[in-house]
Amino acid sequence: MRNYDLTPLYRSAIGFDRLARLAELAANNNGNAGYPPYNIELLGENHYRITMAVAGFAMNELEITSEGEKLLVKGTKNTEQTERQYLYQGIAERGFERTFQLADFVTVEGAHLENGLLNIDLVREIPEAMKPRKIEIGSNSDKVLEGETTTVRTKAVEATPAA
C-alpha cells in the first residue's frame, strides 16, 4: 500500500488544503531516488544550508532555480567530451533534477561549489507584520482623556407612509 488517498482531509479541513497537498506530494515523491545525495544543515536560528555531492559536475553544468516555494537544482552532464573506455565506472555521470519544497518566507541567499560539494545557503526572513509583538493591556479608563468627554448623537428618522 504505497498510495494514500488524502481526499477526506480536503473535505474536513477548511483552510488546511495546502498542508494536505504537501503531505500528498511527500507520499508520492518517488522521482529523486536518492541521487545526488544531500544534507540539510541548521546553521543558525533562521539560516540553513543544503549540501549536495555533485562530484564531476562543473559550475556551468549546474543550474539552481527558485520559484515561489520550490527550489530546483538541475545538473546536466556535458556529452561533448571525448569518449572514454572504462574498465570500471563507479562515478555516476548522469544528469539529475532535485526539487526541494521551501517553507514560508525561506529564500535562497547564495550558492557556491567547493571540492565537489554544492552548498546552497537559505535564510528565513519573516516580515515584521508576521513577527510576534507584545500587546499592552490597558483598562477602559485609559481611553478617556482628562477633560475630554465623548457624546453620542442620534438622529431621528421619520418614516413616511408609502403612497
Tens digit of pLDDT for each residue in 72-120?
999 998 766 667 788 888 877 788 999 998 988 899 999 999 999 999 9
Q: Please tell me the distance from the alpha carbon of residue 142 to that of residue 3, in angstroms, as a whole number.
A: 60
For residue 97, what pLDDT is reported? 93
Give the other-Cβ count within 10 Å of 82's Cβ.
Answer: 4
Grid cell listed for 103: 517553507
Mean pLDDT of all residues in 55-82: 86
Residue 60, C-beta contacts closer than 8 angstroms, at least 6 positions apart: 78
Closest CA to 29 of 100, 122, 104, 102: 100
For residue 32, what pLDDT is reported? 52
For residue 26, what pLDDT is reported? 64
Which CATH number applies to 34-130? 2.60.40.790
Higher pLDDT, 109 or 14: 109
Residues of the chain with CATH 2.60.40.790: 34-130
What's the Cα-to-Cα distance from 139 to each of 75, 91, 143, 147, 152, rounded to whole Å? Answer: 62, 71, 8, 18, 21
Question: Which of helix, strand or coil describes residue 50?
Answer: strand
